[in-house]
Structure 1
Amino acid sequence: MSDTELQDGLTAASARFDRALARLDQSVQELGTRMRQHNRMEVDTQRLVHERARLATELDKSAARAKRLDDSAHDVSRRLVEAMETVRSVLAKAE
């Protein structure tokens, strides 16, 4: 092998090595980007989980309040019917 061939081989190997390093650097940068995106998604997911829990608690409270209001409305309706029947009874006796 002549010096020229050896030099050409070293130049080619050096060029391949430089390209491999450039690809490795690019891969490391892409991995860093993906890791940052993943971390942001994790934070967003945790925020959504907490928000969901808060909303579920609010919904439970609202449902309980609606049930109490419905029960109260039913009780008021029952009392009104009783009062109307009492008034009718009194009026019927007065006639």
Structure 2
Amino acid sequence: MDHNGVEDGLAAATARFDAAMARLDQSLQDLTGRMQRLKRIEVDTQRLVQERARLATELDKTSARAKRLDDSAHDVSRRLVEAMETVRSVLAKTE
């Protein structure tokens, strides 16, 4: 192989190497972008998990309060019925 053939081969190898390095660099940039998006998704997911836990706690508290109110309403209703029966009884005796 003559000197020009070696130089041409070297130039072609260098060009292939440069192209391979450019593809590798692009792949690295793509991977970095995907990793950043994945990290944002992980952060968002963690935030949603925390929000879900907070909402579940609030729901439990609200449910407990609703039960207490329901129990109180039932007790008030029972007492009203008893009071009405007492009033009827007293009215029946005075007639």
TM-score between both structures, scaled by the size of structure 2: 0.94
1:54 aligns with 2:50: no
Report the counterpart of residue 90 of structure 1 in structure 2. Answer: 90
Could you tell me which amino acid in structure 1 is paired with residue 84 of structure 2? M
- What is the aligned residue count? 95
Q: CA RMSD in A?
A: 0.9
Report the counterpart of residue 74 of structure 1 in structure 2. Answer: 74
Residue 42 of structure 1, CA deviation: 1.2
Moved over 4 A (4+): none
Report the counterpart of residue 41 of structure 2 in structure 1. Answer: 41
CA distance in 1: counterparts of 2:93 and 2:82, whole angstroms: 17
Residue 60 of structure 1, CA deviation: 0.2
Residue 45 of structure 1, CA deviation: 1.1
CA distance in 1: counterparts of 2:90 and 2:38, whole angstroms: 77
For 1:10-29, what aligned pairs fall within 5 Å after superposition?
Answer: 10-29=10-29
Could you tell me which amino acid in structure 1 is paired with residue 72 of structure 2? S
CA distance in 1: counterparts of 2:7 and 2:49, whole angstroms: 62
CA distance in 2: counterparts of 1:49 and 1:25, whole angstroms: 36
